[in-house]
Amino acid sequence: MVLMDSRGMSSAEWKELVQSLEDVGPDYEKVNSLMTFGLVDKWRRRVATLAKDDDVVLEIGSGPGSFTRHLKSRTVYCLEPSLEFSKSSKEVLDMDRVTLLKGVAEKIPLADSTVDKVFCMFSFRDFFDRPAALGEMNRVLREGGEAVITDVAKPDSGPSRR
């Protein structure tokens, strides 16, 4: 048994998580809808209204673009540890204003003070090192910028844990 430390998850759990996301692929939206009793897209649309058209936005854990597609911002960076998982986002996103980045929240591949808004939609619970990720969010935010984290709790056990 591998225990999660207070900062996030173990490396074994991280590898399992990435593999699970890649495995669920086409069923990702169905899973999110079930976990949120059908409210996930309503929440995404509501949170997306916090971004202005002229904002530079970073979404951490962008997956297949389910949240990003609601953003109207001129420049959007989508950070995802698995480009395989985010590959399908190219079909639903305006790639003229969206840039896909491979990476993790603990090491955001952007310069200091680069973005106006950071969004983390349903992925904070899966960060490997939460304090480091929060520090990175703060680092890339411009003065007066905002970070918005929306998430649901991860079940302790059972089939929905995976």
Cα four-point dihedral sign 120, 59, 20, 27: positive
Task: Give the pLDDT confidence score for residue 5 in this predicted structure.
Answer: 42
Task: Give the pLDDT confidence score for residue 87 in this predicted structure.
Answer: 78
Task: Give the pLDDT confidence score for residue 143 in this predicted structure.
Answer: 97
Task: Give the pLDDT confidence score for residue 1 in this predicted structure.
Answer: 29
- In this prediction the pTM is 0.78
Task: Give the pLDDT confidence score for residue 40 in this predicted structure.
Answer: 78
Residues with Cβ within 8 Å of 156's Cβ and at least 6 positions away in sequence, in order, are none
What ranges make up the beta strands (E) of the chain? 56-60, 75-80, 98-102, 115-121, 141-150
Neighbours of 95 (CB within 10 A): 10
Reading the chain (162 residues) residue by residue, the pLDDT tens digits are 233 344 466 777 767 766 666 666 666 666 666 666 667 789 899 999 999 999 999 999 998 899 999 999 999 999 998 877 777 788 889 999 999 999 999 999 999 999 999 999 988 977 889 999 999 999 999 999 999 999 876 666 666 555
